[in-house]
Amino acid sequence: MERKAGILLHISSLPSDFGIGDLGPNAYAFVDLMASSGQGLWQVLPLNPTHQAHGNSPYYSISLFAGNPILISPEMLYRDGLIDRATLEALKIERSERVPYEEVYKRKEYMLEVAFKNFKEDQDFYSFCEENAYWLEDFSLFSCIHKRLQRPWWQWEELPKVEERELLKEKFVQYIFFKQWRALKNYANSKGIRIIGDLPIYPARHSADVWANQDIFRLDVSAGVPPDYFSKTGQLWGNPVYNWERLKERGFNWWLLRIRHSLKLFDLVRFDHFRGFSAFYQVPYGEKTAERGWWEKAPGYELFERIREEFPSMPFIAEDLGTIDQEVINLRDHFGLPGMKVLAFAFFDENSTHLPHNHTYNSVVYTTTHDNMPIRDWFFKELNPWQRAKVLDYLGYAPSKVQEALLRLAYMSVAKYCIVPMQDLLGLGEESRMNTPGKAEGNWRWRLKDMPQGEVWEFVASLCDIYGRF
């Protein structure tokens, strides 16, 4: 029976000397530390391009296929002779626990311009362009026009002439990103670590995906979720929803292309907002909140039958959180997909499936997620005295470090996978929160200033040993 443990840490949150975590030496060092402590899984957030205009969210991207240029490693470019020592030194930014996005975008753009000038096209590059033409051509043209016009595609009236060299640069950037990512993934796999990637359900409205495939999207509505625990007015994401009938007519080929692409990048794929494959929530385009929306059925069974035909091993995880009904559960279980159990959701309903004694083997247990308060301040700041008492009653004692006790509870779960956010592993608080749903600014910025050493890895190694997760 498989039992594995792992860590949730996005690439951007790794320490580095360049303002943001990247695909360079510290990513490899992190893999080594994980391997030495018995970890078998590394979960990351979406790798797609981010933009300041969209709050730097990896879930609201101009492409669901492209990689994020700001995650490209300057040190790897220097190693490959694409930038010189002086350029490398000029890219450095004083280390901090927050990503200075404005400065990072500026310096990484300069870095990639220098690297492109020094780049000599070769067969590997030509092969990459050919193999990825189904998305790369549209994305490269979209990016060039976007940079020229600086407004959304539905306001593009007369398209500017785009030079071949501009297109070539966009393709070069993507080539470098995927070359660096492929090398890192291969290294992780060689150390016995599988990578879990996140598959956002929707692209941004202003994206190459929507621009090039307008007929498979509904542009008169926006996606979101109704009022809930996270937001009294709901969450209005702004993404268009799918024209599922059109997709069904075409055998869901666009989705199959997307999943095939993702499985080249990751060993396991988490379907973000899985409930949207059962029924999706939509709001008339132009609304300011998500309150005036409605649910509509999605052809989840037809879609996943096609997915199973193409990918019979079904290496997927269902993010079955939020407004979940029996139909969502039935869809998940019909295809044997592991769901998520989150300890931060567990203790205040005796029937909660998140309570450890209700866990099932075919699931993934988390202490918290990237959308939640880290477990330390969840306990001390979010919970009231009655709620804290309920948690302690469940534990059966009052530990000196609650987060360590909850980590232990996650590791001992019968769930086959246990994933702990790095913030919870380190016992960090509110200052390290990755995302607050419904909050437009200030998210996605937390990062490690330095690589954790010593005790933290010894602790998780001991948990792996005790609870059979090596």
Q: Are 234 and 226 in contact (CB under 8 A)?
A: yes
CA-to-CA distance for 231 and 314, rounded, in angstroms? 33
Pairing of strands 221-225, 268-271: unpaired
Mean pLDDT of 222-248: 89
Mean pLDDT of 173-185: 98
Of 116, 26, 23, 122, nearest to 76 by C-alpha is 23
**Is residue 446 one of the residues assigned to a domain?**
yes
Band (pLDDT 50/70/90 cuts) for residue 232 is: confident
**Is residue 199 one of the residues assigned to a domain?**
yes
Residues 75, 319, 320, 424: which is the catalytic one?
319
Decide if 84 is catalytic.
no
Instruction: Report the pLDDT value the prediction gives residue 18, as an integer from 0 to 100.
Output: 98
Q: Which long-range contacts (CB under 8 A, 24 or more apart) does 401-408 make?
A: 401/427, 402/375, 402/376, 403/367, 403/374, 403/375, 403/376, 403/379, 403/427, 404/459, 406/343, 406/367, 406/375, 406/379, 407/367, 407/460, 407/463, 408/463
CA 327 to chain centre: 25
Mean pLDDT of 380-392: 97
Instruction: Report the pLDDT value the prediction gives residue 368, as an integer from 0 to 100.
Output: 97
Torsion of CA 98, 47, 160, 162, to 10 degrees: 110
**Is residue 220 one of the residues assigned to a domain?**
no
Q: Are 58 and 48 in contact (CB under 8 A)?
A: yes
* Torsion 247-309-60-206 (CA) sign: negative
Of 284, 238, 260, 268, nearest to 61 by C-alpha is 238
Mean pLDDT of 212-239: 89
Number of domains in the chain: 1
Give the least confident one: 103-112, 222-231, 348-357, 417-426: 222-231
**Is residue 441 one of the residues assigned to a domain?**
yes
CA-to-CA distance for 153 and 105, rounded, in angstroms? 22
Is 134's pLDDT higher than 70? yes
Mean pLDDT of 57-75: 97
Mean pLDDT of 397-410: 95
CA-to-CA distance for 156 and 37, rounded, in angstroms? 52
Mean pLDDT of 54-63: 94
Is 323's pLDDT higher than 90? no
Decide if 296 is catalytic.
no
Instruction: Report the pLDDT value the prediction gives residue 1, as an integer from 0 to 100.
Output: 84
Mean pLDDT of 110-121: 97
What percent of the chain clears pLDDT 70, i.e. is strictly above it?
100
Is 390's pLDDT higher than 70? yes
pLDDT digits over 408-423, tens only?
999 999 999 999 999 9
Cβ neighbors of 220 (< 8 A, separation 6 or more) are 284, 285
Mean pLDDT of 318-345: 96
Widest distance between CA atoms in the chain: 69
179: left (phi over 0), alpha (psi -120 to 50) or beta: alpha
Residues 137, 371, 404, 430: which is the catalytic one?
371
Cβ neighbors of 93 (< 8 A, separation 6 or more) are 17, 18, 19, 100, 103, 104, 107
**Is residue 216 one of the residues assigned to a domain?**
no
CATH of the domain at 166: 3.20.20.80
Is 230's pLDDT higher than 70? no
User: How many Cβ atoms sit within 10 Å of the Cβ of residue 455?
Assistant: 8
**Is residue 215 one of the residues assigned to a domain?**
no
Q: Are 463 and 407 in contact (CB under 8 A)?
A: yes
Cα 26–Cα 29–Cα 33 angle in degrees, nearest 5 = 135
Alpha helices in 150-217 (DSSP H): 164-190, 208-212
pLDDT digits over 86-104, tens only?
999 999 999 999 999 999 9
Domain that holds residue 377: 4-210+241-283+298-466
**Is residue 145 one of the residues assigned to a domain?**
yes
Q: Are 48 and 57 in contact (CB under 8 A)?
A: no
pTM for this prediction:
0.96
Mean pLDDT of 203-222: 97
Distances (CA, A) of 28 to 39, 45, 184: 14, 17, 7
Is 344's pLDDT higher than 70? yes
Q: What is the mean pLDDT of the chain?
A: 96
| Amino acid sitting at position 461 | A
Is 27's pLDDT higher than 90? yes
Decide if 371 is catalytic.
yes
**Which residues is 10 bridged to in the sheet?**
none
**Is residue 130 one of the residues assigned to a domain?**
yes
Residues 272, 320, 377, 424: which is the catalytic one?
272
Band (pLDDT 50/70/90 cuts) for residue 322 is: confident
